[in-house]
């Protein structure tokens, strides 16, 4: 897959440069219109662009995690989730284990962040943990690990910041122009009679047009980046899990969720596995304003992989849906991976070793927790993270002790047993 990663990097540089060019053009025209010096405006735009990109590179993941109110967890907080992330880390070939974060919300979603695999994070919502079974959760995590592997997370962070800069600059510039036109109308008419009046009018008109068109062009570039990489992440997830149906089923469940992720916004929407905004009971419209491909289309491709789980299988399914177009690079199409072991219930982390050893039997899979058990597991984790202590009474009742409770024991409201509270 390294050929595909290299191609993505080259395309990413071109796309980021294209968005940067739009910003520089706005800066030059604003400088020419307001300061009489296009170079000065260009330098200011360049400084803004460099500062924002440095922030995005070194602190973009921290900002995103902070905005979404994600909380970092440890292995003991949710062993099942850590086990799945570790499996997908091995399957994807990543050298470093990403940090794991939880967002306390009933919305179902997930995202990856970080400037490189060494500084990567994966965040999932509590709603996702409660409603997805192991295969489905594995598919979602594999999708996010693919974004890390393919270096998508850094690109999207940079483009998010650059897009925001372009939109903000255009918005403020348009307000300044409107105010200037109202306050200095007479002066503008007098200056237009002079030798340079015609040039000023042309620059003024072009600046207005560019400020209207530039954000639209930036959005179109940004959405094109998002959609392409979502398909590639789906393809990689199918390869990592050897089970495309897991991700397909998860996407279906996510599409039916009506909960909106309140901490998401337009700048961060593309980072998530599905668009977190405007969640309704109706299916999302497939249009140019969407940061993600239609979920129904992604599910259709995954379920049309002819029983295989390779890049070739995914590309063939994609090609059938998109009239012969390809989404996976030619060199990556040679990776053909059977699904026989995954269908037999073998964890992906063990599949390679078993195949190499020629084993005829497979280990017994871990029992799948029920929906009720998943809800309790997630709830306990969130209570622990809020500094509550958990006490298990002999009658089966689980007592949650708030952090400000100062007594050393507590009475069970159901059976009356006095339970000793463990020290935190």
Q: Could you give the count of Cα atoms lying within 13 Å of 344 in the half-sphere of its Cβ? A: 16
Q: Find the helix packing angle between 197-241 and 311-321, rounded to 10°.
A: 130
Report residue 33 as tokens: 């219109």
Q: Cα(105)–Cα(323) distance, rounded to whole angstroms?
A: 39
pLDDT at 243 (0 to 100): 93
pLDDT at position 308: 79
Do 329 and 197 lie in one domain? The reply is: yes
CA 117 to chain centre: 15
User: Does pLDDT of 289 surpass 60?
Assistant: no
pTM, entire model: 0.78
Please report which helix (H) or strand (E) contains residue 120, including its range: strand 120-125
Domain annotation covers residue 197: yes
Give CA–CA dist 221/271, Å, rounded. Answer: 15
Q: Where are the beta strands (DSSP E) in 286-331?
A: none
Q: Which segments of 115-202 are extended strands (E)? A: 120-125
Regarding whether 297 and 397 lie in a shared domain, the answer is no
Residues 190 and 62 in one domain: yes
Domain that holds residue 285: 1-68+148-352
- When divided into structural domains, the chain yields a total of 2
Residue 360: inside a domain, yes or no? no
Query: Which H or E run contains 102?
Result: strand 99-103
338 with 398, same domain: the answer is: no
More confident residue, 189 or 132: 132
- Asked if residue 84 is part of any domain, the answer here is no
The pLDDT value given to residue 124: 97
- What confidence tens digit (pLDDT) does each residue in 259-287 have? 888 888 777 788 899 988 755 544 444 44
Q: How confident is the model at residue 45 (pLDDT cuts 50, 70, 90)?
A: confident
Tens-place pLDDT, residues 116-156: 899 999 999 999 999 999 999 999 999 999 999 988 888 77
Q: How many CB atoms lie within 10 A of CB 406?
A: 6
Together in a domain, 305 and 400: no
- Which residue in the block uniquely carries the two structure tokens 């017994």? 364
Whole-angstrom Cα distance, residue 121 to residue 144? 9
Written as six digits, the tokens of 12 are 């990413």
Kindly state whether residue 396 falls inside one of the protein's structural domains.
Answer: yes
pLDDT confidence bin for 179, thresholds 50/70/90: low
Three-class SS state of 92 = helix
Q: 3-class DSSP state for residue 128?
A: helix
Q: Residue 259 in contact with residue 107, Cβ under 8 Å?
A: yes
Beta strand 71-72 pairing with 99-103: antiparallel
Residues 227 and 301 placed together within one structural domain of the fold: yes
| Cβ contact 118:84 at 8 Å | no
Contact 156, 289 (CB under 8 A): no
Asked if 314 and 394 sit in the same domain, the reply is no
Same domain, 276 and 408: no
Q: Is 111 inside any structural domain?
A: no
Which residues are catalytically annotated?
A: 144
Whether residue 258 sits in one domain with residue 156: yes
Residue 89 lies in a domain: no
Alpha-carbon gap, residue 154 to 58, rounded angstroms: 10
* pLDDT tens by residue, 367-421: 788 888 898 888 888 877 777 888 889 888 888 888 888 888 899 988 989 998 8
Do residues 237 and 332 both lie within one domain? yes
391 and 253 together in one domain: no
The answer to whether position 372 is within a domain reads no
Do 391 and 347 share a structural domain? no
Strand 418-420 to 409-411 pairing: antiparallel
Classify residue 126: in a domain, yes or no. no
């Amino acid at each position: 897959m390294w050929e595909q990663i290299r191609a993505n990097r080259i395309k990413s540089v071109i796309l980021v440069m294209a968005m940067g060019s739009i910003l520089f053009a706005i800066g030059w025209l604003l400088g020419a219109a307001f300061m009489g010096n296009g170079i000065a405006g260009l330098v200011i735009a360049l400084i803004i662009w460099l500062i924002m990109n440095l922030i995005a590179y070194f602190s973009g993941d921290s900002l995103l995690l902070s905005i979404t109110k994600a909380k970092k967890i440890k292995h003991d907080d949710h062993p099942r989730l850590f086990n799945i992330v570790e499996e997908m880390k091995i399957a994807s070939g990543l050298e470093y284990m990403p940090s794991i974060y939880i967002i306390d919300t009933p919305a179902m979603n997930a995202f990856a962040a970080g400037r490189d695999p060494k500084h990567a994070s994966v965040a999932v919502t509590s709603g996702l943990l409660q409603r997805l079974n192991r295969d489905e959760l594995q598919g979602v995590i594999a999708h996010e690990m693919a974004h890390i592997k393919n270096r998508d997370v850094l690109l999207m962070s940079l483009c998010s910041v650059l897009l925001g800069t372009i939109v903000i600059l255009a918005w403020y510039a348009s307000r300044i122009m409107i105010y200037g036109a109202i306050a200095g109308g007479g002066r503008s008419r007098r200056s237009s009679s002079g030798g340079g009046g015609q040039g000023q009018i042309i620059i003024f008109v072009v600046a207005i047009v560019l400020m209207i068109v530039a954000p639209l062009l930036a959005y179109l570039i940004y959405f094109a980046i998002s959609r392409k990489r979502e398909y590639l992440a789906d393809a990689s997830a199918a390869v990592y899990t050897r089970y495309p149906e897991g991700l397909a089923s998860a996407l279906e469940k996510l599409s039916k969720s009506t909960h909106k992720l309140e901490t998401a916004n337009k700048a961060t929407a593309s980072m998530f596995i599905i668009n977190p905004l405007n969640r309704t009971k109706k299916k999302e419209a497939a249009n140019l304003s969407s940061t993600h491909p239609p979920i129904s289309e992604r599910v259709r491709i995954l379920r049309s992989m002819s029983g295989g789980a390779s890049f070739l299988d995914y590309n063939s399914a994609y090609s059938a849906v998109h009239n012969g177009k390809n989404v996976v690079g030619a060199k990556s199409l040679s990776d053909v991976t059977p699904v026989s072991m995954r269908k037999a219930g073998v964890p992906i982390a063990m599949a390679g070793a078993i195949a190499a050893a020629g084993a005829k039997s497979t280990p017994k899979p871990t029992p799948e927790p029920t929906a009720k058990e998943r809800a309790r597991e997630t709830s306990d984790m969130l209570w622990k993270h809020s500094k509550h202590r958990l006490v298990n009474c002999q009658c089966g009742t689980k007592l949650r002790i708030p952090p400000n409770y100062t007594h050393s024991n507590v009475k069970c409201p159901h059976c009356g047993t006095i339970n000793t509270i463990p020290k935190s």
